[in-house]
Structure 1
Amino acid sequence: MERRTCTGCHRCLPLDSFPRAGKRGHESTCAMCTNDTRRLRTPLPAIKSDPVQVRINNTFNLWHGPVSRAPLRIAA
């Protein structure tokens, strides 16, 4: 069984782990590294905000003021 070293993760894997690249043979990165780079390159779809939820959030922020994301410190 033929083995090859992936240029992404530097692991020695069987040739079945590498996707085909047409006439060139096989890719230089394994299927997992290829999927990871595609996933990082593809932007996530934009989430449309609900206008009612935006109005509720804005009302909360006006009433309570900006909310700190820092962890709470409890004086003992």
Structure 2
Amino acid sequence: MEGIFKKEQKQAGKHCTDTARKALQEGRMRLRNEQYKFAISQDFPKRYIQILKPIQAHSNEEYMEEKNVYIAKKLPF
């Protein structure tokens, strides 16, 4: 509780933004885990499974504040 108070003193709204960011990251991790399990169960090639492992490879959406939506970028290939 004291840590939250200190964060809010330094920067107003910091706790809310951190909480939202963590929730988004957890959602990405759950999605990655489900994609990974599906790829394993369907006998996808090993190189595809290696692409699925790092979570940062799948965080390609950007938040557009003016439209209040997330935009998913397409891969270049």
TM-score range, shorter chain: under 0.3
TM-score by length of 2: 0.27
Greater helix fraction, Structure 1 or Structure 2? 2
Query: Rg larger in 1 or in 2?
Result: 1
TM-score by length of 1: 0.28
